[in-house]
A and B are shown apart, each in its own frame.
Chain A
């Protein structure tokens, strides 16, 4: 492929090169000058420039898919890049095939694109065989199980239908941004075709790890670096050949688990088993087996975690087979291809949603979603004290009652001071506790829809992300079915 000079950007990529002593200058295979020093490797490359997009969305999980589709439906030209080979993120590649609670015991709280997905999946037979609308649209703390392949297909259809340009197996590896102006010029992506520079008017980071925001230089907090602990991850599994007619329900296997722990069946005394949920007639997904202290922002830790996760999954397989009725003939279908990370990096946003907001069920004029799920910070280690801390918090001290909800404001999606960059999904700006509630798929989808809609508004009106007219945004979101019951709207976003 040939590129004119105008289509090519010169970009220095700097990478740490370990401690190997290497000569200061050399040339790479393409003839580019490469400067090497003891610890830093300077690489100069001419990178092809793609055509300019209105919006680039990095990450195709629930937030990214919602952002891309909703923005495209509003007329934007959208590029969605995704590191794996499917959309859905944790819900597909992560095999976390259950949507966290979307209702509060009284009413469905999740509208807009997420509700569209929910009803489409129900209509298409993609929800778990035991799912009923009267339950998933009303029940308090009910997880809605779904079929992973159905979800993948539906999201494929949604992006194609909306005209989103999707690139699978593509990662954002760098960004051209000016922190002082809060402006992103473009990003560098890498895939089988090599590097490419993608200019765009706006950018939405839905990577879950705030990869793009971090590359741009936006302020971020890292779990383990800026917090005392890292919430454990889980490598989810699919089990097959389960007799659900005789199998015990999710949660009810807990006493059996304790017996197995007492018997020394497991290598760690992890008392928290979120459970095995029915996603097909004889297929269940296991959200079980914590990988403690895994740092998702360190590749070695992530790699070791995947390997450990696979070993832990085998222990759960034999546990179910040996101890739990209905699982006598269970087979291990697979583990997820990506780690089920619960916490990694969070942006420092225009506002940080905090636990007081949660407890007081705060209503924000700029709220882009409402939610009810308990603070769900899994035990940081396998001690009894930590497990009891988790249980008490999840069930008592950090749980809203039936019929209640709290608001998720727009301003947690904007890295502080940035004009054309949004962040949606797990890496939103919230404190540790509230993050433990809204880090999940339905909330991520609502954030994604809001970010995509805001980006289009920004393009059309010239309003920067950090000073957008939130009254207009909320009206647009309501017009496409978002459930936003706040009585008062405001042109300015929440900052205090």
Chain B
């Protein structure tokens, strides 16, 4: 497509994209990366569906950073044996997250008996399409649409019962339209967009996405940070912010995104300082992550060994396992572990014994503590 024509198209888009105009019906959220769109590039994709349009439009910023994608959808919706085409443009964020829809001028969506959607129903459709966990994923259209059956056989009855199960996930009277559009939104187009974006992720784009307020985008980004991406200082700070958050899943994903080689001493210290204010699962994940670092920082080692007496059984075990995997031979650590030999929790005491028993060299005091434990317990 000629670039001049495209720029004209963009101009039109910019004036209409983020507002609802009288003549056009649209519901469109802001993209995660909120920047001016400079250029729209058509990408022809071999979609394996029957939606009549294989062109995916990519919206780029002046810096050639993708901002969002759209695809024109033209598909038949048949209700009561009468069919009409649904003509709609669907929009996705660069993470493949649904952003919204826009109908061409004069177009509308309709329900059974071809009654037009009202404004609330467009809002509801927009809300339903934004739900990636919709139960619509679990049903075939055959189950949702009662088959024409004048004898009122079981099939009809079951379809009716099934529809009851999805009432919260459809626009009433527009089962087929909601179902079809939801499956388009979460179908191949989404996956193609994710593929394109994941191949282009840079430290800068990653940071922009992580700074967004949308947790789905944050999680998507954390899941797509590849080994090739250089972790900048700002990105590292952002990851630490997530690791110290209250959302355990965000914590887990942020830790998972950190590759062992990027866990510098400075980062390890920052992580271990989070422990003071974190809950059990967070502590567990952080200690587990420290097991993977190439070399355990000395401060981290000392701080953790000093904390052993305040940890519960599961965390003591994890910490000692972590020390063991790093082949820690440190007198102070051993002394701190030896304190646990007299812990009233026999599990903790036993873990301490196993750890110390695996050491070749212990100082006199620690050795005596181990011998005393042996005498009392074996």
Asked if B54 is an interface residue, CB under 8 A from chain A, the answer is no
| A53 vs B138: C-alpha distance when bound (angstroms) | 48
Q: Which stretch of A23-31, A252-260, A299-307, A429-437 is in the interface? A: A252-260
A480 pairs with B133, CB closer than 8 A? no
Give the docked Cα–Cα distance between A108 and B252 (Å). 13
**Shortest Cβ distance from B223 into A: residue:** A134
Report if B34 contacts A (CB, 8 A): no
Q: Hey, which chain B residues are within 8 Å of A115, CB to CB?
A: 248, 281
A75 with B154: CB separation less than 8 A? no
Contact A388 B161 (CB under 8 A): yes
Asked if A392 and B312 make an inter-chain contact with CB atoms under 8 angstroms apart, the answer reads no
Interface check B75, CB cutoff 8 A? no
User: 0/1 per residue, B233-257, Cβ < 8 Å to A?
Assistant: 0000000000000001100110000
Chain A positions within 8 Å of B154 at CB level: 258, 271, 384
- Tell yes or no: B214 within 8 A of A by CB: no
Q: Is the CB of B139 within 8 A of A133?
A: no
| CB contacts between A and B, total, < 8 Å | 108
Whether a CB of chain A sits under 8 angstroms from the CB of B162 is: yes
* Chain B residues, CB < 8 A from A75: 313, 343-348
User: Are B347 and A163 neighbours in the complex by a CB distance under 8 Å?
Assistant: yes
Whether A252 pairs with B139 at a CB distance below 8 angstroms is yes
How far, in angstroms, from A490 to B252 measured CA to CA in the complex? 32
How far is B312's CA from A480's CA once the two chains are assembled, in angstroms?
8
Interface residues as binary, A368-410 with B (CB distance below 8 Å gives 1, 0 otherwise): 0000000000000000100110011011100001100000000
Selected from B138, B253, B285, the residue in CB contact (under 8 A) with A252 is B138
Report the contact-size class of chain A (Cβ under 8 Å from the partner): 35 or more
Chain A residues whose CB sits within 8 angstroms of the CB of B326 once the complex forms:
none
From A72, A73, A142, B133 is in contact (CB under 8 Å) with A142
A252-B140 CB under 8 A given contacts A73-B347, A74-B313? yes
A residues less than 8 Å from B142 (CB atoms): 255
Expressed in whole angstroms, the Cα–Cα distance for A252 and B139 within the complex equals 5
Residue of B nearest to A456 (CB): B345
A259 to chain B, nearest CB (A): 9
Q: Which of chain B's residues has its CB closest to A142's CB?
A: B133
Alpha-carbon separation in the docked complex, A111 to B253 (Å): 17
* Dominant SS among interface residues on chain B: helix
Q: State in angstroms the CA–CA spacing of A416 and B143 once bound together.
A: 46
If A75-B346, A248-B140 touch, does A161 touch B164 (CB 8 Å cutoff)?
no
**Residues of B contacting A105 in the complex (Cβ-Cβ under 8 angstroms):** 133
**A49 close to chain B: CB less than 8 A:** no
Most buried by A among B139, B140, B279: B140
Cβ B348 vs Cβ A258 within 8 A: no
Say yes or no: is B165 at the interface (Cβ < 8 Å to chain A). Answer: yes
Residue from B133, B220, B346 whose CB has the most chain A CB atoms within 10 Å: B133
Q: Are B279 and A249 in contact (CB under 8 A)?
A: no
Q: A75 CA to B351 CA in the complex, in Å? A: 11
Which residues of B approach A to under 8 Å, CB–CB?
Answer: 133, 135, 137-140, 142-143, 154-155, 157-158, 161-162, 164-165, 168, 216, 219-220, 223, 248-249, 252-253, 279-281, 284-285, 312-314, 317, 343-348, 350
Q: List 20 A-B contacts (CB under 8 A).
A: A72-B347, A73-B313, A75-B343, A75-B348, A108-B248, A133-B249, A133-B252, A163-B350, A251-B140, A251-B143, A252-B138, A254-B158, A255-B142, A384-B154, A395-B165, A479-B280, A479-B312, A480-B280, A481-B279, A481-B281
Which residues of A are interface residues toward B (Cβ below 8 A)?
Answer: 72-77, 105, 108, 111, 115-116, 119, 133-135, 137-142, 161-163, 248-252, 254-255, 258, 271, 384, 387-388, 391-392, 394-396, 401-402, 479-481
